[in-house]
Chains A and B, each alone.
Chain A
Amino acid sequence: MSNVIKIKRGVDIKLIGEAEKEFASPLPIETAALKPDDFYGVRMKLAAREGDEVKAGTPLFFNKDDDQVKFCSPVSGEVAQVIRGAKRKILEVRVLADKETRYEDFGAADPTTLEREEIVSKLAASGCWSFIRQRPYNTVADTTKEPKAIFISGFDSAPLAPDLGFLLEGQEEEFQAGIHALSKLTSGKIHLGLNAKETPAKIFTETKGVTITRYDGPHPAGVVGVQIAKIDPINKGETVWTLTPEHVVIMGRLFLTGKYDARINIALTGSEVKEKKFHHTILGAPVKHFVENNITEGNNRIISGNVLTGTKITEDGYLGSFERQVTVIPEGDEPELFGWLIPKPDKFSISRTLPSWFMRKLGDVQYKLDTGQHGERRAFVVTGQYEQVFPFDIYPVQLLKAIITQDLDGMENLGLYEVVEEDFALCEVVCTSKIPVQSIVREGLDLMKKEVG
């Protein structure tokens, strides 16, 4: 029997807009985009120009510091547009997709028979390496390092997150092949975290070569950082890699077919979506695909990802490389008369200053939350709030203060190596002072990486 770890701190924010467990009819992909910002810690160099013909698996970028690591096109077609921002920073490279996808051939191979170096070079050349994230710093993994362990979370506890068992159904063989490949990259364990409250899917229980641990508790129990902290926390000088099961499946396909086949499934969620279903799609797919004529009238926010860590995009935007859902919720940009005084029941709060707490006790309440910040930014005043939702042996406020004051020793000693932005997402949600916690953590990680390496 797998080990069960109880997680007490955290909160499940139940939102209206869960996707039905049903796939919508697939639509042809006309464009796809790769966004360099999805990959931290990489100095990107463009490998393709506008007008170039690419196949699925042809590099669009490569890592300037480690040029074997490529970031590849998920579709075949013509490089249509390179979107740049301030200081000519590349924001997106869009590829006009062919009707029939043509693939680069990286050669099928049984990962169990390959050497570590062969696996690294295959993953790096095909673009699959970019899915491996390294802690500390949440950057793309360093090909020259060996992690002490690899962590994969087999469930998502974020609001409206899809059931990964359903999302990955029928891809057992690919997942197993991916795990075989990963097992060559570390002499440590490959940890797979599963939800203790549900019967785990076959894709996870039948996989060989993983150490399964089950987690019982509210969000962020499904966040891989929490799972690392509970099983094998990161000490100074250690490296841990993390992946999502979807990316393991894409890796597995690479070894089984020799192709960089970036097909994924996503859930379309959120209160403002009319038909909330699952979709067969591809990494970097246009969200227009899913939301056009499928969201309510009005001022809405489209999020690539979930409401805690996803990215705000426009209707013409594209799915991020690490997302498994698109969420649409109303914008909260209307001023509220005496909003700080009136105990409106439709507002969510972990404090009991709003009636939502009482209603939650009465039944299974789901909220239709908007993007309103519900107050202005203030200095840290209230204490003990973050700790209610932060299941790490870390003092979150003190760590944030160390980051704000650029106290490198403090950051190191108080546990910055163990965390990434998403681990702090709930702290940001519950913050009375409306402090931008995740971006502060990112600044801390960037500073630490620059100064300490």
Chain B
Amino acid sequence: MKALNDFLESKVKPYFEEGGKLEKYWPVYDGLETFLFVPGHPTEQGAHIRDGIDLKRTMNTVIMALIPCLLFGMWNVGYQHYLALGIDATFIDQFVFGAIKVLPIVVVSYAVGLGAEFLFCIIKGHQINEGYLVTGMLIPLIMPVDIPLWMVALSCIFAVIIGKEVFGGTGMNIFNPALLARAFAFFAYPSFMSGNDVWINTSVRDGQSVVDGFSGATVLGELATAGSTHYSVLDAIIGTIPGSIGETSVIAIALGAGLLIFTGIGSWRIMLSALAGGAVMGIIFNALAPYAITEVQQAFMAVPFWHQLAVGGFAFGIVFMATDPVTASQTSTGKWIYGFLIGFLAIMIRIFNPAYPEGVMLAILFMNTMAPLIDHYVLQANIKKRKKRISLKARA
């Protein structure tokens, strides 16, 4: 370790330092060196001791929380593929097929996203931040498996540059970059992001064919168009349903949520209140179902609220997207309101918007814009309390 550090310090670093041949690539060197070594920076001012956590460890914890979703997603891609083709396949076959489909998306996401970030930092002369480590994992997990890789690449570039760097980098953005990547792909290439053809890979080899009656629709797709689904709640909880790569299994998401809550990295307030918001909206719709205009909508609204919470991107969104600390409300009270409204709006959009039955993405992006306003009112309440204290004194 010491030898490697000494080698970097004496043989490599001078090229990148001021006056060195590769001076302008300093952010790249710095990014890689600090990935290898946490710098031995002692405290210079203020408290002399510091918590062992840093942003890299924080981001790494989120990535670990995403691993169950990634692994399950890989398997489910293979499982759905073989199911669509009516082929009996082993667990390994299913997983390997899924891995072959999913890993390139992950690689493209990281390579292109980090490339864009490195480029931006070189041009601006900024230090490279670790924010993209999580974004780069989130993006593949919220994409359909059949999305072309170049679309993933463009979405990542959009997320990094328009979603984050133009605002000043990690910590300064107002929208969740991963969701922006999805929104970009959704609005730029809608036929690759919705409908019945993108959620399950149905590419066939010689002699293979898709089974008769196969639709490829997601649970929400079926509910929105037919008012019922042939997938059970248990299917949705386990995750053996079509959907974006990482969002189908409530169990895998719950494992991630557990890690985020246990480590204190993810806000349990947001997760809980979003669940409550979704449940409340679901219950309201259940009550209003008899008054819906069409029979399909009547049936969609009558879907039990717990079923609503288990399907689509709801669980994934509230655990991994809504809890992004940068774009969420930052005050504790604000987090309750923010989460509740995300859950509430997600189910509302899902049922009221026939063109797009998945509402959690729009709900979170909308609430991203509202988060500063929520915090503003929370702070105003605190300020009012302080001013009231003065007037009470004056009266006394």
Interface residues, chain A, with chain B CB atoms under 8 Å away: 13, 15, 159, 233, 235-237, 301, 303, 307-310, 312, 327, 329, 331-341, 344, 347-354, 356, 369-376, 378-384, 387, 393-395, 397-398, 413-415, 421, 425-426, 428-434, 436-439
Beyond the given A310-B48, A373-B50, A438-B47, could you list 20 further A-B residue pairs with CB under 8 A, ordered by the A residue number?
Answer: A237-B390, A336-B37, A339-B37, A339-B38, A340-B54, A341-B56, A349-B53, A350-B51, A353-B58, A369-B49, A372-B42, A379-B169, A380-B171, A381-B170, A381-B325, A384-B332, A384-B335, A434-B54, A436-B45, A438-B45
Mark contacts of B1-34 with chain A using CB atoms, 8 A cut-off: 1 yes-contact digit, 0 otherwise: 1001100000000000000000000000000001
With A383-B328, A384-B267 already in contact, the answer to whether A354 and B53 are too (CB < 8 A) is yes
CB of B171 to closest CB in A, whole Å: 3
Mark contacts of B353-385 with chain A using CB atoms, 8 A cut-off: 1 yes-contact digit, 0 otherwise: 000000000000000000000010011001101
Do B41 and A381 have beta carbons less than 8 Å apart?
Answer: no
Distance between Cα atoms of A255 and B192 in the complex (Å): 86
Do A432 and B53 have beta carbons less than 8 Å apart?
Answer: yes
Distance between Cα atoms of A382 and B335 in the complex (Å): 13
Closest to B127 in A: A376
Do B51 and A430 have beta carbons less than 8 Å apart?
Answer: yes
CB of A383 to closest CB in B, whole Å: 4
B286 at interface (Cβ–Cβ under 8 A)?
no
Do A393 and B385 have beta carbons less than 8 Å apart?
Answer: yes
Distance between Cα atoms of A439 and B38 in the complex (Å): 24
CB of B258 to closest CB in A, whole Å: 12
With A372-B41, A375-B54, A438-B46 already in contact, the answer to whether A338 and B171 are too (CB < 8 A) is no
With A353-B57, A374-B38 already in contact, the answer to whether A383 and B325 are too (CB < 8 A) is yes
B52 at interface (Cβ–Cβ under 8 A)?
yes
Do A381 and B171 have beta carbons less than 8 Å apart?
Answer: yes
Closest to B330 in A: A383
Distance between Cα atoms of A23 and B4 in the complex (Å): 47
CB of A312 to closest CB in B, whole Å: 7
- List of A residues within 8 angstroms of B169 by Cβ: 379
Do B385 and A337 have beta carbons less than 8 Å apart?
Answer: no
Do B42 and A432 have beta carbons less than 8 Å apart?
Answer: no
Distance between Cα atoms of A258 and B141 in the complex (Å): 77
Interface residues, chain B, with chain A CB atoms under 8 Å away: 1, 4-5, 34, 36-43, 45-58, 60-61, 127, 129, 131, 168-172, 262-265, 267, 325-326, 328, 330-332, 335, 375, 378-379, 382-383, 385-387, 389-390, 393
Closest to B391 in A: A235
Distance between Cα atoms of A236 and B379 in the complex (Å): 17
Closest CB pairs A-B (n = 3): A375-B54, A347-B52, A379-B171
With A352-B263, A369-B49, A372-B50 already in contact, the answer to whether A333 and B55 are too (CB < 8 A) is no
Distance between Cα atoms of A437 and B172 in the complex (Å): 18
- List of B residues within 8 angstroms of A331 by Cβ: 42
Do B57 and A348 have beta carbons less than 8 Å apart?
Answer: no
Closest to A401 in B: B330
Distance between Cα atoms of A372 and B49 in the complex (Å): 7
Distance between Cα atoms of A135 and B84 in the complex (Å): 72
Distance between Cα atoms of A387 and B378 in the complex (Å): 15
Do A381 and B326 have beta carbons less than 8 Å apart?
Answer: yes
CB of A306 to closest CB in B, whole Å: 9
- List of B residues within 8 angstroms of A301 by Cβ: 42, 48
Do B1 and A337 have beta carbons less than 8 Å apart?
Answer: yes
Q: Which of A13, A338, A382, A395 contacts B331 (CB 8 A)?
A: A395
Distance between Cα atoms of A430 and B325 in the complex (Å): 16
Which one of B5, B42, B330, B390 has the highest number of Cβ atoms from chain A below 10 Å of its Cβ? B42
CB of B84 to closest CB in A, whole Å: 39
With A352-B263, A354-B53, A356-B52 already in contact, the answer to whether A236 and B390 are too (CB < 8 A) is yes
Which one of A310, A331, A349 has the highest number of Cβ atoms from chain B below 10 Å of its Cβ? A349
- List of B residues within 8 angstroms of A338 by Cβ: 36-38
24 A-B pairs in the complex with CB atoms less than 8 angstroms apart:
A235-B386, A333-B41, A335-B5, A349-B53, A350-B264, A351-B263, A371-B49, A373-B43, A374-B50, A375-B57, A381-B55, A381-B58, A381-B325, A382-B325, A383-B328, A384-B332, A393-B385, A395-B331, A415-B382, A426-B47, A429-B50, A431-B50, A432-B54, A438-B47
Distance between Cα atoms of A347 and B170 in the complex (Å): 26
Distance between Cα atoms of A30 and B127 in the complex (Å): 49
CB of B385 to closest CB in A, whole Å: 7
CB of B222 to closest CB in A, whole Å: 38
- List of A residues within 8 angstroms of B54 by Cβ: 340, 374-376, 378, 432, 434
Closest to B1 in A: A337
Do A353 and B43 have beta carbons less than 8 Å apart?
Answer: no
Do A307 and B55 have beta carbons less than 8 Å apart?
Answer: no
Do B39 and A376 have beta carbons less than 8 Å apart?
Answer: yes
Distance between Cα atoms of A305 and B54 in the complex (Å): 26
- List of A residues within 8 angstroms of B262 by Cβ: 352
Do A398 and B47 have beta carbons less than 8 Å apart?
Answer: no
Do A429 and B49 have beta carbons less than 8 Å apart?
Answer: yes
- List of A residues within 8 angstroms of B40 by Cβ: 332-336, 372
Do B332 and A415 have beta carbons less than 8 Å apart?
Answer: no
Closest to A439 in B: B45
CB of B164 to closest CB in A, whole Å: 11
Closest to B8 in A: A335
Do A341 and B332 have beta carbons less than 8 Å apart?
Answer: no
- List of B residues within 8 angstroms of A425 by Cβ: 46-47
Do B267 and A375 have beta carbons less than 8 Å apart?
Answer: no
CB of A219 to closest CB in B, whole Å: 12
Distance between Cα atoms of A13 and B385 in the complex (Å): 32
Distance between Cα atoms of A414 and B380 in the complex (Å): 9
Distance between Cα atoms of A439 and B43 in the complex (Å): 13
